[in-house]
Amino acid sequence: MTIKLYNTKTRRKEDFEPINKDDVRMYVCGPTVYDRAHLGNARPVIVFDVLYRLLRHTYGPEHVTYVRNFTDVDDKINARAAESGRSIGEITAETTQWFLDDMAAVGALEPSIKDRDHQRAMPRATQYIAQMVTMIEDLIAKGHAYAAEGHVLFAVESYSKYGALSGRSIDDMIAGARVEVAPYKRNPMDFVLWKPSDDATPGWAGPVVGGKSIGRGRPGWHIECSAMAHDLLGATFDIHGGGNDLMFPHHENEIAQSTCAGHDFANVWMHNEMLQVEGKKMSKSLGNFFTVRDLLDQGVPGEVIRFVMLSTHYRKPMDWTGKKSLEANRTLRKWFDLTEDADSAEVLPKALVDAIADDLNSPNAISVLHELAKRGAYTDLKAGAQFLGLLSPKTSDWVRRPGQLLDALTQKLSELRKEAVQTKDFSKVDDLKVQLQAAGVEVQISREGIVLGAGPEVDDAKLEALK
């Protein structure tokens, strides 16, 4: 089997050939931990989780290293600490765990390196300040960076290939980017490697320039990933991934500083497209902004979120809709019923693996699963779904959730009815009955009692709200 991946750097789909088949290495940019992960943050996690599963299947779990970082030093974090009165360490520890919990809920495996050390495979930026300082000092020594007013900046003009990844000229990048205007910059596109910190801001001893420390400060965003990737994966590794919003300037800057530091960096660059909600860009002002936790708390299972994400190819914009969520819920319930008593096949369905090996074509893989369900190949269906992170042992928890909710709502409706018999006011009973029916529940009320049944369109989130 040949794995084909679209390489943003070359703008074509290529046969994937790892540098070392015994140590396939991948780095994916992780979150800045100051708040809950929104729905769009889940897409790259799910996309590269599927790639991670494919690499583990192809080369063996013990031969795949997957690193995904946490940015835990950032001005957004500093601002959140200032406005909340909480310590930075407390905020980052809490939000890091939130992220891990929410990504586990959508079925993502934790990254790991060859020795299975998950913690090292999820490095925090603050753990790698020394490596960042060393890289900055090297860039200064080689003439690719300069110190100015307590800052160190990368000199973009010193790297002739700047803009090659995103395919933009420097003039285009200046026009299309929010370039920070500063008098100490030699070129408007020069970006910060190190910046000064005041007493209220986290800081470390800065790079040494001309035998003297530049002073207490903190790293710029871009240098973090270059330093962590180099330390954990080496000067050259196989795959670097992230959302396409990171292509410029983050990934462009990573390539520039790493290359100028003498590292070949990543051979394959992969980027997923962005996410919309009901056909519009996700925005708080439009009222369509959701965190992953929002959906989970509304009763949308993480597995349903994952299924909807995989239903669109990663290089195409993904539109989250309520309709897709309901359809995914219905499909997964059906597949669970079909496979609950089936064993999982020892060999994965070839058509499904081939689909994923063809540049992570998850929509085609899901089509294969539909066909297996139609043919009654339930052992293959179960194995294929589990390969994609679906039909896990936890599936039964949410599949059976409506029954548990209906038991509670039956009790609630019975109590309201008993009260109504006394007061002769059945309005609350009628209101709950209407809401249950709107949630897809069949309601039967008779002298013998109350019977609630989950219809084919039952909405778990609405039931959860009625409980």
pLDDT mean for each 10 residues of the chain (467 residues): 96 98 97 94 97 97 96 92 90 96 97 76 95 97 96 96 86 62 86 93 93 93 96 97 95 97 96 93 83 91 97 97 90 94 94 98 98 97 98 90 83 91 92 90 86 76 83
With CA atoms as reference, report the closest residue to 31 among 75, 67, 76, 68.
68
Give the per-residue pLDDT at 118. Answer: 67
Rounded Cα–Cα distance for residues 298 and 396 (Å): 18
Q: Show the domains of the chain with their CATH numbers.
A: 4-124+225-286 (3.40.50.620), 128-219 (no CATH), 292-398 (no CATH), 400-466 (no CATH)
Q: What is the pLDDT of residue 285?
A: 79
Q: Rounded to 5 degrees, what are φ and ψ at 117?
A: -85, 100
First-residue to last-residue Cα distance in the chain: 50
Instruction: Look at residue 298 in the predicted model and tell me its pLDDT.
Output: 86
Contacts of 370 (CB under 8 A, 6+ apart): 331
Q: For residue 90, what are the contacts with CB-CB under 8 A and spacing of at least 6?
A: none
Residues in contact with 179: Cβ distance below 8 Å, sequence separation at least 6, in sequence order: 188, 189
For residues 153 and 217, give the distance between their C-alpha atoms in angstroms, rounded to a whole number: 13
Total-model pTM: 0.89
C-beta contacts of 15-21 below 8 A and 24+ residues apart: 16/238, 16/268, 18/59, 18/238, 19/236, 19/237, 19/238, 19/267, 21/59, 21/63
Residue where the block lists tokens 């008779």: 446
Rounded Cα gap, residues 427 and 408, in angstroms: 20
**What is the number of residues in the chain?**
467
- Do 399 and 332 touch, CB atoms closer than 8 A? yes
Rounded Cα distance between 34 and 53, Å, is 28
Amino acid present at 172: D
CA–CA distances in Å: residue 214 to residues 129, 133, 156, 185, 191 = 15, 11, 21, 16, 17
What is the distance between the alpha carbons of residues 83 and 179, in angstroms, rounded to a whole number? 26
Q: Which two tokens stand for residue 257?
A: 């500083």
CA dihedral 395, 397, 400, 403 (to 10 degrees): -160
**Residue 293 to residue 41: CA distance in whole angstroms:** 12
Cα–Cα distance for residue pair 195/460, rounded to 1 Å: 49
> Nearest-CA neighbor of 353 among 368, 338, 342, 339?
368
Asked whether the beta carbons of 276 and 317 are under 8 A apart, the reply is yes
Look at the block and give the residue holding tokens 């765990």: 97
CA 374 – CA 376 distance, rounded (Å): 6
Find the farthest-apart pair of alpha carbons in the chain and give their distance in angstroms, rounded. Answer: 91
Angle between helices 350-357 and 362-375 (to 10 degrees): 170
| Cα gap 244→369, rounded to integer Å | 29
Q: Which helix (H) or strand (E) holds 218?
A: strand 217-219
